Amino acid sequence: MIYDDDRFHPTNNNDIDQNTYINNIILSDTGYNKVIQTYIDENNVKHKYLLEYYSSGGNTKILRNAVTGLQYKNLRIGTKDENLLFKIPINSANNNNRENLFYDSPEQYEIHQHQKLSSKTIQLWYNKKLNKS
């Protein structure tokens, strides 16, 4: 079997590493950010982790999911649309400004940022969302 014409064969030096390609796409996204964060676990031990997130804003005024980077096409920054998502402030990775990150739910935020919210905070958000829908 001859692999000379197969540019994706594992022994070929011109092979494109899929992970590098994906990372290049992510890194070219101006809303993509990385910051080192800390959290304290249930045993009171402090841990550092890399938080990767997508911020809203930039050239568009469309809200964006902090975890997935997907835009909520009909939801705009600075409007009541923000109340439909769980919003949390964060210090910007690129400067000292604060920006808001948007999540589908408080639970998505908890998983993404290794934080535990009070049940009261979660219930208040769901009540607010139900009243706005």
Closest CA to 53 of 63, 62, 64, 61: 64
pTM of structure:
0.72
Query: Does 124 map to a domain?
Result: yes
Query: Does 117 map to a domain?
Result: yes
Query: Does 118 map to a domain?
Result: yes
pLDDT of residue 22: 44
**pLDDT tier at 15, thresholds 50, 70, 90:** very low
- For 22-36, the pLDDT digits (tens) are 444 455 677 888 888
Query: Does 12 map to a domain?
Result: no
**Number of domains observed in the structure of the chain:** 1
Structural domain that includes position 127: 18-132
Query: Does 11 map to a domain?
Result: no
Query: Does 26 map to a domain?
Result: yes
Instruction: Give phi and psi for 67, each to the nearest 5.
Output: -90, -50
Query: Token pair of 122, please?
Result: 């979660």
